[in-house]
């Protein structure tokens, strides 16, 4: 008998794949709401914020985005660029504290052809990586196994941020 891998969160991703631009921009809409835990917003800065990826590549996958809606890096002010880079550095520190990864992928996918899932709003990905984290599921099954629920990851990272503030 074949084993089953349940990933119910993937259905929401599949359903929404064609609606990403039709219903607005999550990087504009979610920060306007006040439920940071539900929306996975970990930190609010002056010009940019940190949000967990709802469909992560690995546990602890974070994103940094400006509040201002733009797809172009050249449109960002020096103040926005500085804060975004400071937040990326903070994300590395927070993830290291929470997960002790062996490395990171940090980057920006510009435009649909560049791999951007939401090409209309620039955002940075901070993805922790571990030696040997590419296993048969990723290589052969084209499936990622995320070993931690998003709410658990949120609580772990939020505690680290709160402790750093105090």
Strands 62-66 and 103-108: unpaired
Strands 103-108 and 48-52: unpaired
Active site residues: 123
Torsion angle, CA of 20/25/30/31, rounded to 10 degrees?
160
Strands 48-52 and 62-66: antiparallel
Residue 118 CA to residue 112 CA, distance in Å, equals 8
Nearest to 63 by CA among 96, 103, 21, 95: 95
Residue 40 CA to residue 82 CA, distance in Å, equals 23
């Amino acid at each position: 008998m074949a084993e089953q891998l349940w990933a119910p969160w993937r259905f929401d991703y599949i359903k929404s794949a064609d609606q990403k631009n039709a219903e607005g921009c999550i990087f504009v809409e979610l920060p306007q709401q006040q439920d940071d835990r539900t929306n996975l917003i970990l930190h609010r800065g002056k010009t940019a914020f940190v949000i967990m990826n709802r469909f992560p590549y690995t546990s602890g996958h974070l994103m940094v985005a400006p509040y201002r809606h733009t797809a172009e890096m050249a449109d960002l002010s020096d103040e926005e660029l500085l804060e975004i880079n400071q937040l990326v550095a903070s994300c590395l520190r927070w993830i290291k504290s929470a997960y002790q990864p062996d490395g990171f992928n940090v980057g920006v996918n510009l435009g649909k052809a560049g791999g951007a899932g939401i090409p209309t709003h620039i955002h940075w990905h901070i993805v922790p990586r571990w030696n040997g984290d590419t296993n048969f599921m990723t290589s052969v099954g084209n499936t990622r196994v995320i070993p931690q629920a998003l709410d658990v990851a949120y609580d772990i990272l939020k505690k680290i941020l709160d402790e750093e503030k105090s």
